[in-house]
Chain A
């Protein structure tokens, strides 16, 4: 059973068709959020080429995310980062059987529409790319294709869900190979979930109203989330994961799965590392298996990584205030 909190039955993205005599519904909350549920306990890997996508699939990735450059390269290159080449996305869609995702810029409705038309399985409205709208995110209820968003806090997560996000991931700090920010973000979301649940359990509706105002979301979504005690959509970890132990750590904090950006294909042992991170994600609660996975990689081949305190560009701040 799926929590349908915040469902909008009049959403433009919901398409009802009649196939022969049978009525069908596409883009419904169940179908869009349900897709994310199928990814649970899995690893989504950032890729830039067909070859990388095939390595990811062979390693057991549940999906690949197509970018023009890996987040760490986006960081180095500077300038404006946009959605990937459609031809490369299509080539990758034709060469792997697992779902294919692609990123669009925050607020860039038409990049997202292009990706929907390309038939990617999920769109990531991502802070890794340069935001196209400093004040708004995409109104994702208009899309039949599900959209995932990043969040650093429960307030951000619920704002995105109210806009129609079908899945949430931590923002972390992309392209750093440093897991600290992702850890901070999931812990903050978990703390805040516990906090609203205890307010709900105490029956203090007035305080829930105060929280809704502070979060800049509706009372309804706060109440429904508080009642559930967790986000009403699947929540993955992302931003800075570079090793099998990183993946296992985030799973142990209650994440439903893992996105790995630069961590795999920026390392010199991409094939082994891809496989090792999948193993550590699946068997995160079996320490002997995580050790075996960690042993498959060579720390000397990990991406060097960046200390978040010294960064000039904090991607996680993008789209954070709206």
Chain B
């Protein structure tokens, strides 16, 4: 059976993730397709989902509108692998507050037990790229692109830290759930997307 991977297409850089994930599938020689998904019906048929970067407040509110929050949560809790990037990781979390504005009441999926600080590194002028490593999943060097990025300030006991930038947690994993503060889809390197696709493939078979 062919893998069915979706990119949540509400707002943000959907297209870039479609390309990175499809490239990863092709390079791995796996039979599968990546499509933009939005409706509960489309989501219910997925084997794996990427929640892309964008504005988490916008994405959360609009996912509520079309009824995809509920099915998303169910699918992920039942083991569907998910990669949440930046805003996507914020949506997966259960506790997000802004560095300046403080606690916000944006809708969250409440799946990943992490405490997040939004816009943690500062505003856009402070956005940066830097090499990071995710040794525990076999990616020793990766170009991390951080755009008004969040960071994780606390993780639950069931959450593994995949990467830190200096003392700040920038990638986490809990079972089939991966969250990153940086944007792998903005680089040419498909290592993380490949790791995710393998996770989806293993989980399906």
Contacts and interface: CB of A to CB of B under 8 A. Distances in A.
B57 interface: yes
B10 A282 contact: yes
B19 to A, nearest CB: 6
Interface residues of A, number: 47
B20, B100, B118, B129, most chain A CB atoms within 10 A:
B129
B130 A97 contact: no
Interface in B94-134: 98, 100-101, 104, 118-119, 122-131
A145 B129 contact: no
Contacts of A42: 11-12, 54-55, 58
B153 interface: no
A94 B185 CA distance: 30
Nearest to B55: A62
Contacts of A93: 100, 123
B171 to A, nearest CB: 15
A196 interface: no
Contacts, number: 140
B13, B119, B131, most chain A CB atoms within 10 A:
B13
A63 B12 CA distance: 12
Given A26-B125, A38-B53, A61 B166 contact: no
A252 to B, nearest CB: 15
B11 A41 contact: yes
Interface stretch (A17-25, A130-138, A185-193, A214-222): A17-25
Interface in B155-188: 165-166, 183, 185-188
A24, A38, A96, most chain B CB atoms within 10 A:
A38
Nearest to B56: A97
Contacts of B69: none
Contacts of A120: 123-124
Contact of A1 (B118, B166, B185): B185
Contacts of B92: none
Nearest to A62: B55
Given A2-B16, A42-B55, 14 more contacts: A1-B185, A17-B128, A22-B165, A26-B125, A35-B147, A37-B13, A37-B53, A40-B13, A40-B54, A41-B54, A42-B58, A99-B55, A116-B125, A121-B125
Interface of A: 1-2, 17, 19-20, 22-28, 30-31, 34-35, 37-42, 57, 60-63, 93-99, 116, 119-122, 144-146, 278-279, 282-283, 289
27 contacts: A1-B16, A1-B186, A19-B166, A22-B165, A23-B131, A26-B127, A27-B125, A30-B187, A34-B183, A35-B147, A37-B16, A37-B186, A40-B54, A41-B10, A42-B58, A61-B58, A62-B55, A62-B58, A94-B100, A97-B118, A98-B58, A99-B55, A119-B122, A119-B123, A119-B125, A145-B124, A282-B11
